[in-house]
Amino acid sequence: MNTESLKKSNPEQIRNWLSIVILMLAQTIIVLDNATLIISADSLVKELSFTLPQLQVTNAIYPMIGATFMIAGGMLGLIIGWRKQIQLGMLILILSSIWASTANNIMGFTFGARILAGIGGSLLIPAVFGYCTAFFKGKKQAIAFGLISGSIGLTGMLSPILLGGLIDQYSFRAAYTLISLFTLIVLMLSFTLEKGGKNGEVLFDIKGMVIISIALLSTITALLNINTWGFVKASSNTNLFGLSPVIFLLLLGAAAFKYFFQWESFLDRTGRNALFPAGLRQNKRVWFGMFFCAMTYALYPTMGFITVTYLQFSNEFNAQQAGIVVGLNALGMIVGSILAPTILYSRSTKAIMSYANILCFIGVVLMLIAYQQSGVTNSIYIANILFGLGCGLYAAHSPLIITSSVDQDDAEQSSGIQSTSRNLGKAIGLAIMGAVLTLAHSYSFKVNTIDSKNLSNSTQQMILSEDTIPFTHQQHLINVMEDLEIHNNEQDTIKNIAISGRLDAIRFTLCAFVILIIFSQIMTLLMPSIRDKKNYGHDLDDINNERHAL
């Protein structure tokens, strides 16, 4: 290479690395926001009187809104440009953090700040991955995806520890104020990103966005409320003709999904722009990539929520102590995100995803061993590192399954369906694991109440008359018993029953994770090869040769 080309390449390389750093920082905003919410459980309970079901809903608002609008975000960037969409998303996230830091009630925090965060994330995340797909090719793209996934892990590792101390010292408000200032700094840095990627010929599919929004919103709302409303027969005052709204919402969602795919097919036949174009929709490998994107977030943030909730409610960990455990999970994710595009780059997709499943499986088994009646053993730390390592492989490689299977235009637009898949996975993960945690806790609590010989008949009947026993903080349980004037001897018995109930609940939930990971491995083995050009249009060997040449 001559001197002139070196002079030209060095500024370009510097600009590329600067762009990747800014994209990593932009992705970090979302991680900070969600990590703060997870470790603020105790602070939210104390300051705004949240209950576990309300915390579950609050944690699900972001992925629910994100899953609803991120497909649209993948198309919008093609119209207005990826840089502008990144900046718009960050601006909304600043407003969201300010609202969260000043919220004085549950409704304002959940349905104000968290909905705004979901909208901001719906714009920001597809734009980050869309920018990567548009401006980085071949191995550079793999490295960019890996570094961004690594930044998720790094932030996930450090933020619970640093922000946890801030929350313990002050409150969740201080953490969200800091996030708003950080987002403002990244917003100003984003003006150095390239403006390209804008295509004025692309028309936005408004009708498709409305249809898919109805489909996703109704389906996710139904899944999140099965435990509260019941599945078919209503188990609460919220009902339609004595039936649970869940079944009606699921039917509405199914009908909307069917109409959405019919509409998208019509747009393709008439040569118009679709939210979910045929190049993506008809590619089987893309659907598998979407599944693994969803798996990443059904596992990683859901495990963080379940772990922090148990440690804070049952073992009285403060935000910083719980943050250290979750931080080790994130440490594993960093390593896994780096391994995927570097050391494991030449391995097949099936091999990489199998490694991810094995590591997650071992991590969960060690967690089952770590949680004991007397507390938590040291194996919890190794368990979280291994689990995070598996999630890191998922996070770094899942986008490449999609982008390497389609042409450039579809690869750019796929950022929306990738982000939707992640948030849909997170919402489903929270819904399923939250329901298992609550139901298992209630079942164990009631069984142990019946078996106890130290409780009076009246106390037993009072407990058994409840539909569900809330999975709550030990101190909150003590306060409730004192308000009900339960005898001190019985209070000690109920405390022990509660400890056993929470332990059984976390173990049942971890078993549900095991089942999910086994299902993921089955999907890994069923995934079609990219070498079938008839179906996918690309050959893996050609792609690898091009990347190694770079």
Determine the pLDDT at residue 167: 84
433 and 474 within one domain: no
Number of domains in the chain: 3
**Is 417 contained in some domain?**
yes
Give the phi and the psi of residue 318 in degrees, each rounded to 5. -85, 180
152 and 292 within one domain: yes
Q: Among residues 214, 246, 272, which one ends one of the domains?
A: 272
507 and 416 within one domain: yes
Instruction: State the SS3 of 14-74.
Output: HHHHHHHHHHHHHHHHHHHHHHHHHHCHHHHHHHHCCCHHHHHHHHHHHHHHHHHHHHHHH
19 and 162 within one domain: yes
State which of 12-21, 61-70, 172-181 shows the largest mean pLDDT: 172-181
pTM of whole model > 0.75? Answer: no
Determine the pLDDT at residue 549: 33
Q: Which of 67-81, 110-124, 242-256, 271-285 has the lowest mean pLDDT?
A: 67-81
521 and 392 within one domain: yes
Distance of CA 360 to CAs 199, 312, 315, 410, Å? 41, 23, 24, 31
pLDDT band at 165 (very low <50, low <70, confident <90, very high): confident
Determine the pLDDT at residue 201: 60
**Is 200 contained in some domain?**
no
Measure CA 527 to chain center.
23
pLDDT tens readout for residues 425-476: 887 888 888 888 888 888 888 888 888 888 888 887 887 877 777 777 666 6
Give the residue from 317, 306, 366, 327 showing the smallest Cα distance to 502.
306
351 and 397 within one domain: yes
pLDDT tens readout for residues 467-478: 777 777 666 676
268 and 187 within one domain: no
| Cβ contacts of 188 within 8 Å, gap of 6 or more | none
Determine the pLDDT at residue 510: 96
**Is 266 contained in some domain?**
yes
Identity of the residue numbered 166: L
393 and 343 within one domain: yes
pLDDT band at 172 (very low <50, low <70, confident <90, very high): confident
pLDDT band at 202 (very low <50, low <70, confident <90, very high): low
Query: What is the average per-residue pLDDT within 236-253?
Result: 83
pLDDT band at 542 (very low <50, low <70, confident <90, very high): very low
490 and 507 within one domain: no
Instruction: State the average pLDDT for the chain.
Output: 81
Determine the pLDDT at residue 5: 42
363 and 224 within one domain: no
Instruction: State the SS3 of 323-384.
Output: HHHHHHHHHHHHHHHHHCCCCCCCCCHHHHHHHHHHHHHHHHHHHHHHEECCEECCHHHHHH
Determine the pLDDT at residue 138: 66
Element (H, E) at 123: helix 114-135
More confident residue, 57 or 200: 57
Q: Among residues 247, 272, 297, which one ends one of the domains?
A: 272
Q: Among residues 241, 272, 303, which one ends one of the domains?
A: 272
96 and 158 within one domain: yes
Domain extent, residue 259, equals 205-272
CATH code, domain with 131: 1.20.1250.20
Q: Which of 86-90, 189-193, 369-373, 539-543 has the lowest mean pLDDT?
A: 539-543
Residue 323 to residue 328: CA distance in whole angstroms: 9
State which of 50-59, 413-422, 492-501 shows the largest mean pLDDT: 492-501
Distance of CA 337 to CAs 145, 352, 391, 519, 524, Å? 8, 11, 8, 22, 18
Tokens of 72: 């649209």
341 and 421 within one domain: yes
